[in-house]
Amino acid sequence: MQPNQNLKENVMHGTPALRCAFYHSVVDGVSTFVPHHWHDELELIYFRGGRFRLEVGMQAVPIDGETLVFLNAGELHSIASQGFGVEDALVFDPMMLSFDAMDAAQTGLLQPLAGGRLLLPRRIPAGHVLFAPIREEFERITSAFCPDGQPGHFQTTLAADDLTGHLFVKSALLRILGLLYEHAMFLPSEGNANRKIDAVKSALRYIGDHYQEQLYIGDLAALAGMNEQYFCRFFKSAIGRSPMEYVNFYRCKQAARLLRDTDKPVMDICLDCGFNNLGNFLKTFKRHYGATPLQYRKATSKSK
């Protein structure tokens, strides 16, 4: 799942007919394969095996083995792999499950979830009483996005006329929400507890919009409403990198995208991504990707 240039994913997950999308990832090695981002939809992640480090807001959630994780709307998060692992994620708008009739499920659960007044639990580890039944429902969803039954042959969205798939996905999600409600797993909203995280989001959004320009710590700190020293400490505790380390990381991510998807010369990509010095760009890019830009372009062109 790759975040867009503003870190808030403004792209539609799924289609107008079914507002959900399925993402399958197989990773091998130590890397942040889902950089920090957030979206308005809810997310259900099934870590099928392996070791990962999930960060949500300022909370680190270590994953070791099979685990189910829920993410609420607007939560800033990232995922790093710690070796070989498999991760499947369903990103969905809870209002795709809504009913025409304003029944108790609509007013007491779906609307509060969509409005952020009710929160999903963070994780359901293997061994929890709900793990097996929720995993069973998740596998029904997985099969809908893998129509030919071949391992690894997943589609991200369902066709508009795939009524069977739509019904399986919706019914499985409703069953999952019902299980969580039956066991009193939903949490009340934390209100303004995430105000500082929202300040960091403002800085991240600004970086996404202005990474091609010269950026100053003072401007980022002012957006967050903090002095520079406190902002730097808080940003690193939330993101795991200092502000300028993150700026260079983000610039390199954009450079990697251009190297993969365009034939632009390396010097042009260097300048397009906010680096004013080619030598600094080459050194920074190699630190993040373990290869020079040309080596990276050659390796990724072979894998297409």
- What is the CATH number for 281? 1.10.10.60
Measure the N-to-C terminal CA separation of the chain; round to a whole number of Å. 18
Q: Does 103 share its domain with 44?
A: yes
- CA 105, CA 242: separation in Å to the nearest integer? 44
Residue 51 lies in a domain: yes
Domain count, the chain: 2
Domain containing 202: what range? 194-303
Q: Does 141 share its domain with 233?
A: no
pLDDT at 2: 37
Residue 24 lies in a domain: yes
Q: Which two three-digit tokens encode residue 30?
A: 């130590």
pLDDT at 237: 76
Residue-wise pLDDT for 151-194, tens only, equals: 667 899 999 889 999 999 999 999 999 999 999 999 877 654 45
Q: Does 165 share its domain with 278?
A: no
Asked whether the CA dihedral 286, 292, 297, 299 is positive or negative, the reply is negative
Q: Does 40 share its domain with 175?
A: yes
Average pLDDT, the chain: 87
pLDDT at 189: 74
pTM exceeds cut of 0.75: no
- What is the CATH number for 185? 2.60.120.10
Which distant-in-sequence residues (6+ apart) come within 8 Å of 248 by Cβ? Answer: 284, 288
Residue-wise pLDDT for 235-260, tens only, equals: 887 787 899 999 999 999 999 999 99
Q: Does 48 share its domain with 163?
A: yes
The whole-number average pLDDT for the span 66-75 is 93
